[in-house]
Structure 1
Amino acid sequence: MKLYRFLSADDTSDFCHKVTEALNKGWELHGSPTYAFDQANGIMRCGQAVVKETDGEYTPDTKLGEQ
């Protein structure tokens, strides 16, 4: 099955660590990163889509972060 996740966080090193952790678990980058100003909170936010091929069958109960 092919899995998709969208990772997002404030523009800090935590975001980079979140993406790095996903890459080290076998996820691959999908598309370009996004960067936007969160006006409600006055901060910049980052986002990155990742995909992964894995065994099994997808269900809505699949815990994407545990794959």
Structure 2
Amino acid sequence: MKAYRLLTEDDTSAFCHKVTEALNKGWALYGSPSYAYDESTGKMRCAQAVTKEADGDYSPDVKLGGL
């Protein structure tokens, strides 16, 4: 199965740590990062898609963060 996640976080080092952790768990970057202003919080937000090949079949019950 090929898994997909979209990692998001405020524009702080926490975002970089979240992406770095995913990369070290075998996820691969997918596309370019995004950067946008979140009017509801008044902060910039970052997003990065990642993918990973995993054993088993896809089900909506799969906990993607645990792969």
Question: Once the 2 structures are TM-superposed, how far is the Cα of residue 39 of structure 1 from its aligned partner?
Answer: 1.1
Partner of 2:28: 28
Equivalent residue pairs, number: 67
Ranges in structure 2 where 5+ consecutive residues have no aligned partner: none
- The share of aligned pairs that are identical, in percent, is 69
Aligned-residue offset at 1:54: 1.1
Gaps of 5+ in 1: none
Per-residue Cα deviation, 1:4-36 (whole angstroms, up to 9, x for no partner): 000000000000000000000000000000000
Runs of 4 or more off by more than 2 Å in structure 1? none
Q: Over aligned residues, Cα RMSD in angstroms?
A: 0.4
Q: What's the counterpart of residue 3 of structure 2? A: 3
State TM-score, norm by structure 1: 0.98
